[in-house]
Structure 1
Amino acid sequence: MTDPRLVARARALADAGPRQLLGIAGPPGAGKSTLAAGIVAALGDVAVLVPMDGFHLAEAELHRLGRQARKGAVDTFDAAGYVALLRRLRFPDDATVYAPEFRREIEEPVAGAIAVPPSARLVVTEGNYLLMRERPWDDVRPLLDEAWFLDPDEDVRLRRLTERHVRFGRDLAEAAARAHGPDQVNAELIAATADRADLVLGSGSSVDR
């Protein structure tokens, strides 16, 4: 169950309207998607979840660029496209905005899969690189009304991440190698961005900045 205090904080943000953006960042396996989905479910129709992962580059493009083995790294996303979508969401008009969604079962993004109606007062977006300082990612943080950073126990995070890789088809050895190898490189990069969050959620603690 999502912490009621976090739900209350998100609800207060939504009530500040007319449209607020909440970003949830953290390393792979931190629990971002679980928390974001829980917040949106608790708030009901006023909130919509738009994950950053919808901006994964397609497999064909990753192969063309020679980056397929590093899928999930900071340069394997359409960061500028993500920023452009956040700008549209941050300043809504009377039109429904459609966002892409990443489908793990096919390892590809699907365009137009998420509808954000004009009535949505809170857009929750989650992903690894929301708080990066490098261009063009540095345009994300100013578009967020509030940012949370998840920093769980490292052993717990790595176990979750390994289990996730296994669920999506890797054997245990390959899953562990991925979690402790390329994913860990990304995690260390992401950890350096925690100071840009309004709220850091760690092992049994939270810090307001």
Structure 2
Amino acid sequence: MDLATDLELDHLVGRARRLVVPGRRRILGIVGPPGAGKSTLAGALVARLDGEAVLVPMDGFHLAGAELRRLGRAERKGAPDTFDAAGYAALLGRLRSPEPGTVVYAPDFDRSLEEAVAGSIAIDPSVPLVVTEGNYLLHDEGAWQQVRDLLDEVWYLHIDDDERVARLIERHVRHGKARPHAERWVRESDEVNARLVATTRRRADLVITGALTG
């Protein structure tokens, strides 16, 4: 059963800290629709855990713009099939079983370039907790269905839809889209993805509601 709580940072840091076991690797997933604040929450958790956690975003597995154009999917960037889901699952598998002395490098997503950048995040085998965030951690089609079993806990983040949509539009504008384009993109792409993500909420261990405090 889902457990609902207010998004109060101290409480969530305490819950995440319970996953930290020296000498053992755990993975915490944070999922939610576009604009819910996943990266903000994940970054805050990692900062508060002070060296005991590292952030590995799912967005590092976006397909390159050239490949999306080749596939005819550039206008649906962010849909489940516009990621390398199998590659993401393979990375999570490596992270679950770290090899002593071997640093694993993960890709990150550069919003200024709108492209993934390989080898951006170093994950030392001694770090006990990996926090990963993205839209499709609970999606159960194709290679995505491998992901849930690789995560020790998954938290679903929900905020009011009007606030979330406004955040999304402003984010697109900040990163170079004209406002009419940003509004159309949110309506025709992001919100299609958001409705799909919402159907996966029941598979989460924890449902978090509200705005980040603390």
> 1:120 and 2:127 equivalent?
yes
Instruction: Report the equivalent of 1:14.
Output: 20
> 1:50 and 2:67 equivalent?
no
Instruction: Give the Cα–Cα distance (whole angstroms) in 2 for the partners of residues 2 and 79 of structure 1.
Output: 31
Pick aligned residue for 1:129 from 121, 133, 136: 136
Contact 2:23–2:126 (Cα < 8 Å) also in 1: no
Pick 1 or 2: higher relative contact order, CA cutoff 8 A, min separation 6.
2
Instruction: Give the Cα–Cα distance (whole angstroms) in 2 for the partners of residues 27 and 17 of structure 1.
Output: 33
CA drift of 1:17 comes to 5.6
Matching of residues 151-162 of structure 1 within 5 Å:
151-162=158-169
Instruction: Report the equivalent of 1:164.
Output: 171
How many residues are matched? 204
CA drift of 1:19 comes to 0.6
Which residue identity lines up with residue 66 of structure 1 in the other structure? G
Q: Provide, for residues 149-208 of structure 1, a one-character-per-residue CA deviation record: whole Å limited to 9, x for no partner.
A: 01111111001111100100011111111112211000000000001100001237xxxx
Which residue identity lines up with residue 203 of structure 2 in the other structure? R
Identity percentage of aligned residues: 60
Instruction: Calculate the aligned-residue CA RMSD, in Å.
Output: 1.4
Instruction: Give the Cα–Cα distance (whole angstroms) in 2 for the partners of residues 178 and 66 of structure 1.
Output: 16
Larger deviation: 9-18 or 83-92?
Answer: 9-18
Instruction: Give the Cα–Cα distance (whole angstroms) in 1 for the partners of residues 186 and 144 of structure 2.
Output: 24
Instruction: Give the Cα–Cα distance (whole angstroms) in 1 for the partners of residues 182 and 200 of structure 2.
Output: 26
Matching of residues 47-86 of structure 1 within 5 Å:
47-86=53-92
Q: Normalised by the size of structure 1, how large is the TM-score?
A: 0.95
Instruction: Report the equivalent of 1:99.
Output: 106
Instruction: Report the equivalent of 1:207.
Output: none
Instruction: Give the Cα–Cα distance (whole angstroms) in 1 for the partners of residues 140 and 125 of structure 2.
Output: 30
Q: Give SS of 2:112's match.
A: coil
Note closer, same or farther for the CA distance 1:149–1:17 as it changes in structure 2 (3 Å cut): farther
Which residue identity lines up with residue 26 of structure 2 in the other structure? Q
Unpaired segments ≥5 residues, structure 2: 1-6
Matching of residues 142-157 of structure 1 within 5 Å:
142-157=149-164
Instruction: Give the Cα–Cα distance (whole angstroms) in 2 for the partners of residues 203 and 88 of structure 1.
Output: 33
